[in-house]
Structure 1
């Protein structure tokens, strides 16, 4: 369909109208009627409103000219002819087609919904009038966006096909091309530092920098701008106050695949600190300010150091209620390339919190949030208490994000409202699963858990699972605020049965049933002390041909035990991030004692600790260390530690790369037995893990997917071997600790966490049972 250009149409119409006006005006008659021919899209009543002529109205050439102009301005028409016939003024119009269909294909880097949003803002959507000029602008804008992403070979083709009823179908076909590679980064004008030093922290890298998970050599405009800012920061942190980036040029090869970057700089000279002074109003003793200023005469000036000092001073004053302190530094450059620094402090009035307002908690009750607040209404607003409140709410694990903002109260200078904005994430789950685990075989599971039961912050859960060797049923309820001062109380009912006939542990059946109650007392913001009592019945049924160790224990102490177990637990946790933490630490020490009131007397002491280090502030690159120690022993009338309370090591939950529960001492059998030795476990446990966690480039949701390189180490030991057992050594032998290295991948699915491990033993010995591939469903390691 060929549409005339607007200017040509305009000249044609005006000429026709002028001729008509001469003839009409010469007769000087009224217009009996007005008719519009050619309307399809525009409603006729709207068209007549735009024209503005009434029946029997005297002919007015100026009004005809205005009517034509108004019709064109609606954007509906590509051509308009006006003529008079039998006292009827006729507007013969040719409408522009409307958009009947709009498709976008070939886009991967830019989401379709984002493109559609931009097209709508430009007036390009189904039902709107088709304007070719808009398409040209869209093509240019799309190419600009792809150029910014380094896709200089990207092409955008737009096809327009006619449809019935004066409509067109528009197809936008995008060929995103390949990202241009950075061949060379050249810094010109640097004398104090070489290019390797200046570019070592650049996100951009020259082609040849190998990293299978990196796209550092792919050009991106935003990425280069970020690197230029890093370059400026490097010089300003090394005293170069006069540093300036003169220009930056990006050159392309003829095939648009290679990029050459040149950054021209003017270094200037490095400045050192001459004097440091304080000025302004100091509402607190000066020594509290000076303790944050660690600059000395002769030190090289550093902008990052100055920024940290300003933040620390603001925090110090903020802890005294001067929440809106304004701290500025004024540098005075001297001729000898030294600088005087003057920290100007304007604290303003002390600020009090009038009201704390919670939002975003559609499920969680306000009380659950309010009891975590260490900043109170009516109290002096302090920076440390506001940050402490934020941290405590984050540790609840109910929210994807927590943001605390102060808002000045209108009409006052010393009051603020504190807005606590949270983004709730699911805190409950119903699980029904069928799967297979390397350690447990076929897994059938059902669980219902609510960490924020009815928005109260209490936890209610029921879990049932069945594997080839084990059945577990647990019902628990925990109230973290049983009393208003933070004393918690929890109940637990459990029933467990296990059959070790098909695993690496000796063949015996074990049944446990019990009930427990636990109270927790807060020691500090992150530390708690828990006391618990559990009443448990345990029954053991040995296999057809038991080992010497298990047979000796059952012969001595029987096969059924009613125990009363007291426990004491100290915990210190400041983990942030929920199921897959991204920062913080946790440590847990537990003492369990089977009291003389029961059939057995033994004790278990355990210590578990882990810590995360964020390696870039993005929550994507992390380093994690985890360790676990355990020791158990009998006392009183129970000289031997119960074999069914032994620790085990190996498998996906401890030392990956070895079969589950396969490490450590082996049991022994009578000379008449045909059984071969199997894992005995031990009363001493030592395991540890180091992980380097990194993001996969093709994954968008890093909150539910985690990949890591890991090194595991550990084993179990015993301090009491059965006489004559040649495969059991007493005490800890560090030479017997096994090490593995590998790659793990964890995905928090809507059903349950799913983990895969590929690992290789580093020091396996003859007789060890190794396993290169392991996976599990339902928990995280």
Structure 2
């Protein structure tokens, strides 16, 4: 009615305005403008000076000015040969306010309103406001909220402005009271409704919201129902009708869907037609359904995707594969034809990057496997996306291609990234009865000045240790991807006031290493380092076995040249929160000849992520480490015998244990803590000894309960972790936060011959990883599952660390 009234008004105005004889316009004057410039009006006005103005021309001009939606009234008058245009401007929207919306975000609503023409700074149009009201009601209806009310309020302001306030009362979503599938005989209701997003109210509805009606959800569920049948051979399955009834109070929904199951069909033949490009034998390897098999739509769709993918990898970016089933209802067979239309083969003209305000284009370009000037390859595009995601600089990576205008064989590839902080200032604080207050801090930047280089400096302090570290890595020393890194560290420990093995160290080290890529997923690391470590033991406080070892090597200051060789195979699809893929790594550190003590250490790790449906991700990880000396540490059998005899002469009854083939105790592996077996104090699992070298009792005590035995680590470490990352209903982005249920298992042994599965410790619990505004926050609550009496002294339920990012 409002639109008709407006047309009637326009017609009446036009009729009054055209009561003049044609004349030549010598000048044009516009009256009534305040916000809109005269030049803007002239741009829309189809009349110029010198034109002859007729009644028809005046009508066209008035309609043109009304179409701009700038004016609520337009009149033409004549003063001699001067055309006078009198206008009344529509008010502008000074302020747009939304109140009461919870289900739809304000920013999303305002974005939609702007597309309709309702936003701050725009001209106010009452008709557009009415359209907005109806559109908002429709959107809430689609969410099952039939009690919604949308009330717009317009307040006049000075200077021909208005303030628009839209008050929304969402109400509550209608609940599904009945959901009936009629006509199913081959399968039960429970079978066919598995995976439905819609359901009647149940004990999990508070979490899943599955009892809230939504038109989109119901459409998706009916599509799943069709897929369920067609994947099991029912090629002529159909949904005959769907009825949705709402209760008078608009709070309850009743849904009935009538289906026709049809019959099970077999595949009689599969044909490949069209322009195949590749040999038919090659294409048939990508067809996952064969003659004689039961019809399966999922296999048909997988076949079409595989054919399109292989064509997209050789430049046919817009290939089409159309499945054409022909049903023989008498024989209950399907003749299936896959019609291939490869389209024009295209190559990439240009790769453009958007959104990288801090990161240099070259950093992104060197990760791209799709090159400019080469044939388009979907595999190269997908691999490029994974490599960019694994950098850790970007919250989101999207890659699109668009045909170059005026061409049929060129596309431009656009890489859109959303950057996130790659640097952090991290602080951690903890407390234990052994270490007292533990403080750690680090400053790191994984994308230094946008170059892709990484740099970090870190420090850690407790009552018994101080550690400082400095690291720098350039991942692209050469264009081929060879990287170079440098590390320097200083540490000082004094375990004299703890229940750990009582000794003190003061170590300095420097190393350099090369990262060498050998494939898209594999790389080598080769390094060389030098270190100096002064080890101080305390007679009467340090375990005798450690004193014996130091006596054997005859040195308190240990000089070491270290060679490093490592390999890793990385297929993870993300940096902070991967959901698929895994990592296999192996590395060895060798104290080279010329070192005070010659030894080697081998460490391996295997982990993998599997998405297991509905947002759940399974993660498994296993680690093994082993070390040993070689070359007898320069101590001959005669020298060792002399040391043994001297010890017996000095302390009758004390015999030195031959530890020349054992890993140096300051290089021992340790287990327990937030990094491996949660629920236990850091580094407290594994072998423990008394000061006099005797074994502790079952409670881990020495000298009839006088003190606890001291953990000394071991040369063999075994660790395993199983985690299930849980979907959070209120959180869509797993890069922001993750919650997992975990089970850790592991321990450290004197050597691999001492391994005993019954000695493995285990714990379970929940872990929260959150990229909080203050920085990364990790909180774990663990309950030891497999402990012995001697472990109770070292159990720790809650462990956490937090930081702040920049």
Task: Name the residue aligned to 2:513.
Answer: 518
**Whole-Å separation in 2 of the counterparts to 1:43 and 1:143:** 33
Q: Which moved more, 1:292-301 or 1:431-440?
A: 431-440
Q: 1:130 to 1:492 in 2, by over 3 A?
A: closer
Shift of 1:402: 4.4
- 1:652–1:776 CA contact under 8 A, matched in 2: no
Task: Name the residue aligned to 1:648.
Answer: 670
**Whole-Å separation in 2 of the counterparts to 1:138 and 1:407:** 33
**Whole-Å separation in 2 of the counterparts to 1:482 and 1:45:** 61
Which residue among 301, 305, 327 is the counterpart of 1:333? 327
**Whole-Å separation in 1 of the counterparts to 2:758 and 2:206:** 35
- 2:358–2:449 CA contact under 8 A, matched in 1: no
Task: Name the residue aligned to 2:655.
Answer: none
Task: Name the residue aligned to 2:798.
Answer: 773
Task: Give deviations 1:315-361, integer Å, cap 9, x for gaps.
Answer: 44455555554433322211311011223334467x47464524225
**Whole-Å separation in 2 of the counterparts to 1:426 and 1:499:** 40
**Whole-Å separation in 2 of the counterparts to 1:641 and 1:713:** 23
Q: 1:63 to 1:296 in 2, by over 3 A?
A: closer
Shift of 1:778: 5.6
- 1:453–1:459 CA contact under 8 A, matched in 2: no
- Does the alignment pair 1:505 with 2:530? no
Which residue among 546, 550, 554 is the counterpart of 2:542? 546
- 1:669–1:675 CA contact under 8 A, matched in 2: no
- Does the alignment pair 1:441 with 2:437? yes
Helix, strand or coil at the partner of 2:731:
coil
Shift of 1:519: 2.4
Helix, strand or coil at the partner of 2:583:
strand
Task: Name the residue aligned to 1:660.
Answer: 682
Shift of 1:554: 3.1
Give the TM-score taking structure 1 as reference length.
0.81
Task: Give deviations 1:278-320, integer Å, cap 9, x for gaps.
Answer: 3334444332222223433321111221121122233444555
- Does the alignment pair 1:735 with 2:758? yes
Q: 1:189 to 1:573 in 2, by over 3 A?
A: same
Q: 1:211 to 1:552 in 2, by over 3 A?
A: farther
**Whole-Å separation in 2 of the counterparts to 1:706 and 1:556:** 50
Which residue among 516, 527, 531 is the counterpart of 1:532? 527
- Long gaps (5+) in structure 2: 20-29, 45-53, 76-84, 634-659, 693-701
- 1:9–1:78 CA contact under 8 A, matched in 2: no
- Does the alignment pair 1:188 with 2:173? no
Shift of 1:662: 2.5
Helix, strand or coil at the partner of 1:328:
strand
Task: Give deviations 1:189-243, integer Å, cap 9, x for gaps.
Answer: 2222222111101122321142764333332222222212211222222222322
- Does the alignment pair 1:237 with 2:231? yes
Task: Name the residue aligned to 1:104.
Answer: 98
- Does the alignment pair 1:143 with 2:137? yes
Shift of 1:641: 2.0
- 1:447–1:464 CA contact under 8 A, matched in 2: no
- Does the alignment pair 1:613 with 2:614? no
Task: Name the residue aligned to 1:754.
Answer: 777
Q: 1:657 to 1:7 in 2, by over 3 A?
A: same
- 2:404–2:412 CA contact under 8 A, matched in 1: no
1:346-357 matched pairs, under 5 angstroms: 346-347=341-342, 351=345, 353=347, 355-357=349-351
Q: 1:112 to 1:417 in 2, by over 3 A?
A: closer
**Whole-Å separation in 1 of the counterparts to 2:585 and 2:64:** 79
- 1:14–1:65 CA contact under 8 A, matched in 2: no
Shift of 1:444: 4.1
Q: 1:190 to 1:605 in 2, by over 3 A?
A: same
**Whole-Å separation in 2 of the counterparts to 1:356 and 1:123:** 35
Task: Name the residue aligned to 1:175.
Answer: 169
Shift of 1:693: 1.0
Helix, strand or coil at the partner of 1:759:
strand
- 1:326–1:345 CA contact under 8 A, matched in 2: yes
- 1:497–1:509 CA contact under 8 A, matched in 2: yes
**Whole-Å separation in 2 of the counterparts to 1:584 and 1:166:** 61
Q: 1:311 to 1:169 in 2, by over 3 A?
A: closer
Helix, strand or coil at the partner of 1:777:
strand
- Does the alignment pair 1:697 with 2:729? yes
Which residue among 592, 598, 602 is the counterpart of 1:601? 598
Q: 1:504 to 1:587 in 2, by over 3 A?
A: farther
**Whole-Å separation in 2 of the counterparts to 1:582 and 1:354:** 30
**Whole-Å separation in 2 of the counterparts to 1:9 and 1:284:** 62
Q: Which moved more, 1:495-504 or 1:747-756?
A: 495-504
- 1:553–1:640 CA contact under 8 A, matched in 2: no
Helix, strand or coil at the partner of 1:478:
strand
Helix, strand or coil at the partner of 2:585:
strand
Q: 1:208 to 1:566 in 2, by over 3 A?
A: same
Give the TM-score taking structure 2 as reference length.
0.79
Shift of 1:589: 0.9
Task: Name the residue aligned to 1:154.
Answer: 148
Task: Name the residue aligned to 1:717.
Answer: 749
- Long gaps (5+) in structure 1: 23-35, 51-59, 82-90, 721-729
Task: Name the residue aligned to 2:578.
Answer: 581
**Whole-Å separation in 2 of the counterparts to 1:575 and 1:777:** 25
Task: Give deviations 1:26-68, integer Å, cap 9, x for gaps.
Answer: xxxxxxxxxx99x89889999x999xxxxxxxxx999999999
Question: Would you say how many aligned residue pairs link Structure 1 and Structure 2?
Answer: 741
- Does the alignment pair 1:669 with 2:665? no
Task: Name the residue aligned to 1:250.
Answer: 244
Shift of 1:78: 9.5
**Whole-Å separation in 2 of the counterparts to 1:380 and 1:80:** 58
- 1:398–1:452 CA contact under 8 A, matched in 2: no
Helix, strand or coil at the partner of 1:231:
helix
Task: Name the residue aligned to 2:256.
Answer: 262
- 1:453–1:460 CA contact under 8 A, matched in 2: no
- 1:271–1:301 CA contact under 8 A, matched in 2: yes
Q: Which moved more, 1:209-218 or 1:283-292?
A: 209-218
Task: Name the residue aligned to 2:767.
Answer: 744
**Whole-Å separation in 2 of the counterparts to 1:383 and 1:660:** 47
Q: 1:750 to 1:607 in 2, by over 3 A?
A: farther
Helix, strand or coil at the partner of 1:615:
strand
Q: 1:389 to 1:677 in 2, by over 3 A?
A: same
**Whole-Å separation in 1 of the counterparts to 2:595 and 2:219:** 71
Shift of 1:153: 3.1
- 1:495–1:514 CA contact under 8 A, matched in 2: yes
- Does the alignment pair 1:299 with 2:299? no
**Whole-Å separation in 2 of the counterparts to 1:272 and 1:599:** 75
Task: Name the residue aligned to 2:419.
Answer: 425
Helix, strand or coil at the partner of 1:654:
coil
